[in-house]
Structure 1
Amino acid sequence: MRHRDEKITMLGRELELLMSERQTLLQVVGASAALIASLDSSLLPEGAVKSADLVASRINALPDETLRDALAAVHAEIEEEERAVST
């Protein structure tokens, strides 16, 4: 019984760690989405445009619910027509 309790405790800690990491990743994604949405690609150096495009394509691949969670994590809003983040 003790071994089972230890496993349950260990799984609980792992779940807490994963949830904390998820929150951090949501904050990074939310901040990145807000940044990318505000960029004017015509003013960026070519290398930055490529990086912004890579970030934008990964953000666009996220499910809508995940993107909403990410934006909420940083208290950011992106207008609906800007949902297709592009540079």
Structure 2
Amino acid sequence: MREREILLKITGVAAGLIAELNTTDLPIRTVEAADLLATTINQLPEELLQDALDAVHATIVE
């Protein structure tokens, strides 16, 4: 259970970071890495992503 909580926190922080990035200010390799991370996060079931965001008390505003 502890490992799940750690993974949820990592995922939640990563999702929050991706949501805040301004890709116009980043080198292309960084944008590509962020895109890979975002694509992977978006493959998560919505419920699991919400658990991850809840684990770090984050919200994603669309």
User: Which range, TM-score by smaller chain?
Assistant: over 0.9
State the TM-score, normalized to the length of structure 1.
0.69
Aligned pairs, number = 62
- Unmatched 5+ stretches in structure 1: 1-18, 82-87
Instruction: Point out which structure has higher relative CO (alpha carbons under 8 A, 6+ apart).
Output: 2
What is the distance in 2 between the residues matched to 1:47 and 1:21?
Answer: 30
Q: Structure 2: which amino acid aligns with 1:25?
A: L
- Unmatched 5+ stretches in structure 2: none
Query: Considering only aligned residues, what root-mean-square deviation do their CA atoms show, in Å?
Result: 0.6
What is the distance in 1 between the residues matched to 2:46 and 2:56?
Answer: 16
Report runs of 4+ in structure 1 exceeding 3 Å deviation.
none
Larger Rg computed on CA atoms = 1
Partner of 2:32: 50
